[in-house]
A = this chain, B = another copy of it.
Amino acid sequence: MKPLILITNDDGVNAKGIRTLTEIAAEFGDVVVMAPVMNASGKSHSLTSERPLRVTDIKKTPELSIHACDGTPVDCVKLAVEFFCPRRPNLILAGINHGSNSSINVLYSGTMGAVIEGTAIGINAVGFSLLNHNPEADFSGCIPSVRHIIGKVLENGLPSEVSLNVNIPRLPADEIKGIRICHEAKARWLDSFVQRTDPLGRPYWWLTGKFDCENPPEGSDEWALAQGYVSVVPVCPDFTHYESINKLNSLAL
């Protein structure tokens, strides 16, 4: 039986990036796509609990089914695995995201939320992002790297409890230098909100922000991307900071 690959994203089911990813995945197995009906960027690991979810079926063949859901990327993964996949998926893919999910952005990303959910429910998962947030971004430069990584993960699996955060520089395929396994660069967003006044004179605040990551060290994802490499960061759904357990014990908290 062919591998079954479940695909989602946070840019929405009609985004260009998820169409590219679906085409590549279809070379490896049967594909189920379950993705948010609208943009769900920045949804992180959020779940929808206050209202029910609806699903629209866009395509249904044995090799490829495509569904749109009015929930978050994590809702999409949970719902698809339980109700829309004909068998348990061998792999969950998310993306290709329009824009970077490197460094601290993994915290906020709906795409990476879906990937981490995959690992949390015991299915190997990989998120792909292109460093170009334009809706009309050219994804052709990504294709060889995405194909290579999907093939390797299907062949070798992943370390237990680990998923991959893959970011791809905005370069033609033949200018990409290779793939680097990295750690997250330390970074933060400054000046997160802009304050404005509406036509009735009342204040409102809208998310904006400036990405602040100076001199990322060799070995970090921001460094690799700046050098023209694809960055691959292993991420884990267990947030425990094990190294601090003894230190906190000694503080007699």
Identity of the chain B residue whose Cβ is nearest the Cβ of A252 in the assembled complex: B152
Identify which of B45, B50, B162, B243 contacts A44 (C-beta below 8 A).
B45
Known A47-B207, A74-B108, A186-B238; 20 more pairs at CB < 8 Å: A39-B50, A42-B48, A44-B46, A45-B107, A48-B207, A53-B204, A53-B207, A54-B204, A75-B207, A107-B116, A107-B239, A152-B251, A162-B241, A165-B239, A183-B245, A184-B240, A233-B240, A235-B239, A235-B241, A236-B239
> Footprint of B on A, CB under 8 Å?
39, 41-55, 72, 74-75, 78-79, 82-83, 104, 106-108, 110, 113, 116-117, 120-122, 149, 152, 156, 159, 161-162, 165, 179, 181-184, 186, 188, 191-193, 195-196, 202-207, 232-245, 247-249, 251-253
A33 to chain B, nearest CB (A): 17
> How far is B179's CA from A252's CA once the two chains are assembled, in angstroms?
9
B41/A49 in contact, CB under 8 A: yes
Q: Which 9 A-B pairs give the minimum distances between C-beta atoms?
A: A44-B45, A52-B204, A234-B244, A236-B241, A42-B47, A235-B239, A78-B192, A234-B241, A44-B44
A232 to chain B, nearest CB (A): 6
Identify which of B47, B104, B181 contacts A237 (C-beta below 8 A).
B104
B49/A46 in contact, CB under 8 A: no
B240/A235 in contact, CB under 8 A: yes
Q: Which residues of B contact A152 (CB under 8 A)?
A: 251-253
A83/B195 in contact, CB under 8 A: yes
B41/A159 in contact, CB under 8 A: no
> How far is B233's CA from A116's CA once the two chains are assembled, in angstroms?
19
B53/A193 in contact, CB under 8 A: yes
B46/A192 in contact, CB under 8 A: no
